[in-house]
Amino acid sequence: MTRLRKTMLEELERRNFSQSTTRTYIRTVEDFARYFHRRPDQLGPAHIREYQAYLFTKRKLAANTVIQRLAALRFFFIKTLRKPWSVADTPYPKKTVRLPMILSQEEVAQLINAAETPFHRMLLMTAYATGLRRAELAHLKVSDIDSPRMVIHVQGGKGRKDRDVMLSPKLLEELRAYWRGLRRPPKVWLFPGNRWHTANHPITTKVVWSACREAAERAGITKPVHPHTLRHCFATHLLEAGADLRTIQVLLGHRDLEETTIYLHLSQKHLGETASPLDALSLSPSPANDRPRSKK
């Protein structure tokens, strides 16, 4: 391990950055240095601008991804190298805001029913019932299931924050039925790793991803489906059922309520209850015949 890499890792760990963010930041600096075939501490603002253009034009990365890469370089220059960073010299691109794809409740049921294995079925059911991120789902422990209080404890979520989410009675019933059918029920991790799901470590997030993709294919769902889709469905369907935004914000673990308001744009209930201004206009009846008059 180089001195620079070790120093950057220490700075990231001191600030309690998540493992995924740490990996992304380290890889970004390595890719930055590899692109110019030079040590990263020998590069400056002009190289950052060229690298940013390369990410857009050659790599075709989305604006939000480029913003993350720039945040990694900013951290490296300010916290590791102790050098100044000028936003004017390296402006961040405008963030792209896209509405996520939402499945109907019928489509979610089709997805869960099409799971390839009982293990995948439990993964998909738990993801939809709780709205957890895939890393949070993969790292659930048996001890996180608090059946007396009917909550699930989420430990070390995004931003290293703990929170509780509801424990669905139907999910609890399904989990118990699933455990009764296992030769070796899990003792630590709710979803243990390895082929037989008996390891002393949890599954990877790739397993959650594969479970979603394979079930969507088997169900014949043509919409793009990934683990975060079930999180979006959880929030949107809660909103449509009458839950308030503040409650949904807490359940999702959002820092800012503004992050949660995106689901107002996705809720059929809220869209259906909002009248178009056209409905308030007094218009004359449409002409019976719109054909042009013949010239004499």
Whether 158 is a known active-site residue: answer yes
- The one-character DSSP state at 152 is E
Angle, CA of 215, 21 and 158, to the nearest 5°: 65
- Please name which of 227, 47, 199 lies closest in space to residue 125, comparing C-alpha atoms: 227
In the set 74, 141, 153, 228, the catalytic residue is 228
In the set 69, 121, 133, 232, the catalytic residue is 133
Whether 228 is a known active-site residue: answer yes
Q: How far is CA 80 from CA 29, 156, 278, 292, in A?
A: 11, 25, 57, 74
In the set 120, 121, 231, 232, the catalytic residue is 231
Whether 265 is a known active-site residue: answer no
In the set 25, 51, 128, 263, the catalytic residue is 263
C-alpha 237/C-alpha 254 separation (Å) is 17
In the set 5, 213, 254, 270, the catalytic residue is 254
Whether 254 is a known active-site residue: answer yes
Whether 270 is a known active-site residue: answer no
C-alpha 85/C-alpha 81 separation (Å) is 11
Question: And the tokens for 88?
Answer: 């004017």
Whether 51 is a known active-site residue: answer no
Find out whether 164 and 178 touch, Cβ atoms under 8 Å.
no
Angle, CA of 156, 157 and 162, to the nearest 5°: 60
Find out whether 215 and 120 touch, Cβ atoms under 8 Å.
yes
In the set 158, 197, 218, 270, the catalytic residue is 158
Question: And the tokens for 53?
Answer: 């253009």
Hey, which residues are catalytic here?
133, 158, 228, 231, 254, 263
